[in-house]
Structure 1
Amino acid sequence: MIGLSEKEKLLLKLLQEGINLEIRPFKTLGEKLDLSEKEILSLIQKLKEEKIIRQISPIYDTKSLGYDTALVAFKVKGNIESVAEIINSHPGVSHNYERNNSFNLWFTIAVPPDSRLGLERTVSLLAKITNSNDFVILKTVKLYKIGVKLDFNNLKEKEVIRKNEDEQNNIVLTEDDKKIIKITQDDIPMVEEPFRIYADKLGMEQEDLLKKLTSYKEKGIMRRFSAILYHRKAGFKANGMTVWKVPEDRSDEVGYKLASYRSITHCYKRTTNEKWQYNIFSMIHSKSKDELDQFVRELSQEIGINDYMILYSTKEFKKKRIRYFSDEFYKWEDIALRK
C-alpha cells in the first residue's frame, strides 16, 4: 500500500480481519501494535480522513437476514449517468459500475423479505423507468468466497478456503434483532467503548449487546465486524470482474480453486440464461491492468478454461453498504407503485 508506514499497513490488515466484540476493542488492537488506545483511535481517524478507510462496521450476511439478492446487468444505449442515478435511488443497490461490455451497467440489488414488489418485479420496473429493455438477472447458485481483504502483496498469494457445502439454516429474526442490526450497521464510533453508544441507543446493557453480536457471528448472520477500504487509495487501481464459462461438472472444482487466491475477493457460481452463459464470477483487485491481465491468463492455463472475459469497472456510480431494515425500502416501493 503506497505511502503507508508498516504500522499503518498492519493496522489495516487487522481491521480488515475484524475487531473483537468486546468492551474496549481499540485497546486490544493497540496492544497488538504496541500503541496506546488513544494512539490507535487517532491513527484510524487519520486513515479515515485520508480516504483510505471507508467504514468500520458489521458485515451482515444479506441472505441470512432474509433479503433476496442478485447481480443485474443492463444494456444502456443512452445516457448511462442518468440511468445509473435512477438505479442508485433504490436503497437496495449497494454497488453500481460501468463495465466494458455490451451489458455495460452492472449493479447488485437486494430487497427485504416483506417487499411488495419482489426482486424480479423491482428490476423490471427499473428497466421500464430507464428504458433499458435488455437486461439479465444473475442470482447466486453457490458462494465460494466473499471477503474483501486488501492486504496481499502478490496476486498469486493463496489462502485456505473452507468449503461450505451446507446452506444456512433458516434464521428467524425477532423485532429486537432487527433493531440491533439497524443500529449497529452505522460506522463504529471512534471512542474507547464504542458498543456503549450503540447500547444506549437501543436502551440495553452493553454486555447484553455484545452477547447478541457474538451470537450473530456464531450463527453466520454477521460475517465479521471489520473495515472496508477505498481500494484505489489503498493502491489497488484495477478492478476486474472476471467471468468464466465452466462446464457444470467442473464448477465447484474451478470455483474453489479461484477462491483460494487472496487477490480474488469474491467468487460465485451464478445462474445463466440465453443472454448470458458465463457461470463463474471472480472479482480480482490489482495494482495495474497489465498485472491483472497477465494473472488471468495464467489462471486460465491453470484451470483449463479458455472462455472467459475480464469486465473492468470504468466508472463507479455507487458503492455503499445496504442499510438493512430501513424504512427507505418501503418508501421507494410506495412511490414506484403509484407510478
Structure 2
Amino acid sequence: MKQEILSRIQKKFPLVQKPFEVIADELGMREDEVLEILQAEKKANIIRQTSAIFDTKRLGYKSSLVAFKIPEEKINSAVKIINAHPGVSHNYERNHDFNIWFTMAVAPDSVLGLERTIQTLASLAEADDYIVLPTLKLFKINVKLNTTGKDEKKEEVKKVVHKDIELTPLHHKIIQRVQYDIDFVSEPFADIINDLDIDYETFFNTLQELQKAGVMRRFASILNHRKAGFNANAMVVWDIDETLGDAIGAKAAAFSAVSHCYLRPKYKNWPYNLFTMVHGKTTQETNAMIAEMAQEIESKDYMPLYSSKEFKKVRIEYFTPKFAEWEKKHATVA
C-alpha cells in the first residue's frame, strides 16, 4: 500500500482541505494510516519535497541548461561558486569533457541577464569552456517514478494550451507560500489560509487559475530517486535531424521512463540537440530502455551521460531578494 500512496502523491495531489483523507478513502485506509506512512517516508528521505511545481519561464524568469568544462583539480571550488547562485537548482558531475552540468535561471528584473550571468560564473569558476543549452521546445517534464511496477512502458503526453494570465498581488503571495514543502498533517494548507486571511475556496481557485495558465505545472511530491531505488538515471543526448524534431521529440517523450524531454541547440563542439532524462533502478535496466528507445528514434548518434556526483538539487525560490543580492555582489566581475 505504501507504493500505491507514493505513486498517488507523485501523479495528482488532491488540492482540497484534507488531501490525505481523500487518498485514504481511495485506497480503503484511514487518514492517520496514510499520514503515518508519509511521515515515515519523509523521515527516511524517500520523499524529497511536496509542493507546487512552477514553470520558470511563465513566471518571467529566463533559464537554461549549462555545461562547464572544469579541470579536475578545480571542480570543488567551481561547484561552490556555481551552487552559490540562487538560480542554480540542479548541479551534477557527468561522464564527459563537459563535466559540470547545471540548470540556471535569472529573475525577471535581472540587470545582468542570463548570458552575462553565465559568463560571470564561467569566469569565477575558471571554466576552460562552456555551452549554453536553452530549451527550444519542451516535449515533456513530469517526474513520476514507477513505484508500483504497474505502469506501462509508453504513455500519452497530452498537449496543453494555456490561458494567458496577469499575475495579481494575491497570485504572488500564494506562489511565494506554496513553493515550499508542506507538512504531512491533516490540513497542510491551514497556515497559508490563516496567514493570508483568505478562505479555502479562494486559495484552491487561485491554484487552479495558476495551473490553467501553465504558471503552476502541478502540485505533487518529488521522490529522492536513489533513496526510492532508482539508482541509474541517465541524461541521454541524441543527434537528430532538426527538421524532424517535433516528431522525434514526441516519440521519445512517450516512453514512461523518460521524465524530461527537450529540444536544444547544437554547436560545433556539441552535436546533440534532443535531451531525455531516463530513469531506472539499475544501470542494466536503464541501458535496456535506452537501447529500446534507440530502435525507435531516428538519430545519427546518441550518448548516455550518467551523473557521478550530485552537487545540488533544490527548488528555485521565486520572488526573493537573493537574486538581486548575488548580482550586486558580483557586478564588478561582469
Normalising by the smaller structure, the TM-score range is over 0.9
- Aligned pair 1:93/2:88, yes or no? yes
> What is the CA distance between 1:169 and its match in structure 2?
5.6
The partner residue of 1:253 within 247, 251, 254 is 247
8 Å contact from structure 2 (residues 248, 298) kept in 1? no
| Deviation sequence 1:118-173 (CA, Å, 0-9, x none) | 11111000001111141000010100000000016389711011135x6x565432
Sequence identity percentage: 45
Query: Using a 3 Å threshold, how does the CA distance of structure 1 residues 180 and 150 change in structure 2: closer, same or farther?
Result: same
Give the one of 313, 321, 324 matched to 2:315: 321
Look up the match of 2:155: 159
Asked whether the equivalents of residues 183 and 202 of structure 1 are also in contact (C-alpha less than 8 Å), the reply is no
- Residue 190 of structure 1: how far off its partner (Å): 2.3
Query: Which residue is equivalent to 1:28?
Result: 22
Match of 1:230 among 224, 232, 235: 224
The alpha-carbon distance between structure 1 residues 103 and 171, as it changes in their structure 2 partners (threshold 3 A), is farther
Give the letter aligned to residue 58 of structure 1.
A
The 3 A distance-change label for structure 1 pair 8 and 303 is same
Task: Decide which moves more: 35-44 or 261-270.
Answer: 35-44
Structure 1 contact 242–284 (Cα < 8 Å) conserved? yes
What displacement does 1:250 show?
1.5
Q: Counterpart in 1 of 2:65?
A: 71
Structure 1 segments unaligned to the other structure (5+ residues): 1-6
Give the letter aligned to residue 17 of structure 1.
K
SS in 2 for 1:194: coil
Mapped partners of 2:248, 2:281: distance in 1? 24
| SS across alignment from 1:137 | strand
Name the counterpart of 2:6: 12
In 1: Cα distance, 2:287 partner to 2:188 partner? 42
Task: Give how far 1:199 is off.
Answer: 1.8
What is the CA–CA distance in structure 1 between the aligned matches of 2:41 and 2:273, rounded to whole Å? 37
1:53 deviation in Å?
0.5
Query: Helix, strand or coil: the match of 1:333?
Result: helix
The answer for the alignment partner of 1:4 in structure 2 is none
Q: 1:214 aligns with which of 195, 208, 216?
A: 208
Is 2:240–2:300's contact at 8 Å kept on the other side of the alignment? no
Structure 2 counterpart of 1:3: none
Shift of 1:189: 2.4
Matched, 1:112 2:112: no
- Per the TM alignment, residue 338 of structure 1 is displaced from its structure 2 partner at its CA by 4.8
Within a 5 Å distance, the mapping from 1:294-309 to structure 2 comes to 294-309=288-303
Q: Distance in 2 between matches of 1:24 and 1:291?
A: 38
Partner of 2:198: 204
Look up the match of 1:282: 276
Unaligned ranges ≥5, structure 2: none
Deviations for 1:275-304, whole angstroms, at most 9, x for unmatched residues?
A: 222110000011111222232223222223
Does the alignment pair 1:82 with 2:82? no
How far, CA to CA, are the matches of 1:298 and 1:192 in structure 2? 43
Give the counterpart letter for 1:329 in structure 2.
Answer: F
> What is the distance in 2 between the residues matched to 1:40 and 1:186?
21
The count of aligned residue pairs is 331
Are 1:240 and 2:234 counterparts? Answer: yes
CA contact (8 A) 1:156 1:263 kept: no
| Equivalent residue in structure 2 for 1:123, among 118, 124, 129 | 118
SS at match of 1:140: coil
Distance 1:132 1:221 in 2: 34
Structure 1 residue 21 displacement after superposition: 1.4
Structural RMSD (CA):
1.7
